[in-house]
């Protein structure tokens, strides 16, 4: 007599057991292993940020509560903050920051014009595109020393002015507050120009070249293309600056 095969009935309404997570040899799930690898990859960046940003910030906050001469410090509590509020230095600091705030639209406009000139490949664009970002990678200390050397009373700027017969314009640029502010703003413009141009160029790459070419064929001049096509198209990238 032939053996009958027994067919097991499957209960479709029976609860399904949850799948066990895939584990490695050491018992860690695959997701945990990937997460550990991701955090390990980010660790060098976190260490650099902590070393060059967080540590100086915490150190500056600490020294604000001390009398520090660059070598030794003595804890004085809130004396420095009380001195700022009572001596009128707070208003001076706010005024200086307000002046720098007013200079921001200038660097936005300059960065926009330079990026459009590079985008439209004006003569010399290849050379300038290879060097415009170099000031951005310089530290603030290097930029400060360079500007001090150029705008010193015996610096290169005054020597050039004297050499071309404009000695009346030569002056100690860093010696007075108005001209010192101009030097600071110039240094700010020079160092941040590369970053602004880079962001605007990224935005310009999303604008169709056919659109700009069609506007040029229709008779739109450079300024019309800038204000009626390019700037409206760059509205999203601009807040990034």
pLDDT band at residue 92 using 50, 70 and 90 as cut-offs: confident
pLDDT for res 26: 52
> How many other C-beta atoms lie within 10 A of the C-beta of residue 151?
22
Report how far residue 33's alpha carbon sits from residue 99's, in angstroms, rounded to the nearest whole number. 52
Are 200 and 115 spatial neighbours (Cβ–Cβ below 8 Å)? yes
User: Does position 20 have pLDDT exceeding 60, yes or no?
Assistant: no
| Closest by CA position to 151, among listed 183, 103, 190, 119 | 183
User: Does position 113 have pLDDT exceeding 70, yes or no?
Assistant: yes
Report how far residue 152's alpha carbon sits from residue 179's, in angstroms, rounded to the nearest whole number. 12
| Closest by CA position to 120, among listed 230, 241, 4, 10 | 230
pLDDT band at residue 30 using 50, 70 and 90 as cut-offs: confident
Are 103 and 188 spatial neighbours (Cβ–Cβ below 8 Å)? yes
> Model's pTM, two decimal places?
0.59
User: Does position 18 have pLDDT exceeding 60, yes or no?
Assistant: no
Longest Cα–Cα distance of the chain, Å, equals 124
Average pLDDT over residues 146-160: 85
Domain boundaries, given as residue ranges, for the chain: 30-87, 98-240
Average pLDDT over residues 101-114: 87
CATH number for the region 98-240 comes to 1.10.3720.10
SS3 label, residue 122: coil
Quote the crossing angle between the two packed helices 156-163 and 140-150, to the nearest 10°: 30
pLDDT for res 230: 81
User: Does position 22 have pLDDT exceeding 70, yes or no?
Assistant: no
Q: How much of the chain exceeds pLDDT 70, in percent?
A: 85
pLDDT for res 224: 82
> Tens digits of per-residue pLDDT, 168-221?
888 888 877 788 888 888 888 888 888 888 888 888 888 877 888 888 888 888
Tokens representing 144 are: 């400060």
Q: Name every residue whose Cβ is closer than 8 Å to that of residue 180 and which is 6 or more positions away in sequence.
A: 173, 174
| Burial status of residue 223 (CB atoms within 10 A of its CB: 0-12, 13-18, 19 or more) | exposed
pLDDT for res 239: 52
pLDDT band at residue 14 using 50, 70 and 90 as cut-offs: low
């Amino acid at each position: 007599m032939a053996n009958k095969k027994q067919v097991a009935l499957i209960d479709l309404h029976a609860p399904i057991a949850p799948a066990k997570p895939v584990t490695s040899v050491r018992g860690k799930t695959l997701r945990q292993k990937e997460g550990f690898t991701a955090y390990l990859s980010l660790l060098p960046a976190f260490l650099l940020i902590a070393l060059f940003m967080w540590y100086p910030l915490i150190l500056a906050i600490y020294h604000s509560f001390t009398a520090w001469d660059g070598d030794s410090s003595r804890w004085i509590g809130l004396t420095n903050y009380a001195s700022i509020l009572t001596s009128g230095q707070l208003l001076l600091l706010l005024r200086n920051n307000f002046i720098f705030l007013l200079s921001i639209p200038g660097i936005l406009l300059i960065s926009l014009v330079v990026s459009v000139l590079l985008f439209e490949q004006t003569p010399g664009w290849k050379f300038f595109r290879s060097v415009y970002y170099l000031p951005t990678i310089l530290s603030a200390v290097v930029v400060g020393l360079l500007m001090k050397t150029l705008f010193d009373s015996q610096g290169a700027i005054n020597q050039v002015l004297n050499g071309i017969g404009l000695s009346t314009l030569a002056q100690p640029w860093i010696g007075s507050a108005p001209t010192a502010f101009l030097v600071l703003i110039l240094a700010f413009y020079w160092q941040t120009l590369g970053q602004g141009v880079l962001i605007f160029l990224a935005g310009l790459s999303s604008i169709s070249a056919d659109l700009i070419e069609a506007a040029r064929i229709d008779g739109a001049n450079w300024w019309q293309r800038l204000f009626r096509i390019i700037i409206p198209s760059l509205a999203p990238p601009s807040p990034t600056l």
